Amino acid sequence: MAEFTMELNDEQREVRDWLHGFAADVIRPAAAEWDEREETPWPVIQEAAKVGIYSLDFYAQQYFDPTGLGIPMAMEELFWGDAGIALSIVGTGLAAVGVLANGTEEQIGTWIPQMYGDQNDVKVAAFCSSEPDAGSDVASLRTRAVYDEAKDEWVINGTKTWATNGGIANVHVVVAVVDPELGSKGHASFIVPPGTPGLSQGQKFKKHGIRASHTAEVVLDHVRVPGSCLLGGKEKLDQRLARAREKAKASGGERVKNAAMATFEASRPAVGAMAVGTARAAYEVALDYAKTREQFGRPIIDNQGVAFQLADMRTRIDAARLLVWRASWMAVNGKPFTAAEGSMSKLFASETAKKVTAQAVQILGGNGYTREYPVERMHRDSAIYTIFEGTSEIQRLVIARTLSGMPIR
- Please give the helix or strand (H or E) that residue 227 lies within, else none: none
Task: Spell out the residues 6+ positions from residue 356 whose beta carbon is closer than 8 angstroms to its own.
Answer: 279, 282, 283, 313, 316, 317, 382
389 is catalytic: yes
The residue count of the chain comes to 409
DSSP assignments along 293-335, one per residue: -EETTEEGGGSHHHHHHHHHHHHHHHHHHHHHHHHHHHHHTT-
* Non-local CB neighbours of 359 within 8 Å, separated by 6+ positions: 282, 286, 309, 312, 313
- The string of DSSP codes covering 117-174 is EETTEE--EEEE--BTTBSS-GGG---EEEEETTTTEEEEEEEEEEEETTTT-SEEEE
Choosing from 3, 217, 389, 393, the catalytic residue is 389
DSSP SS3 for 208: coil
Residue 145 pairs in a beta bridge with 156
Decide the pairing of beta strands 187-192 and 199-204: unpaired
List, by residue number, the catalytic residues.
389
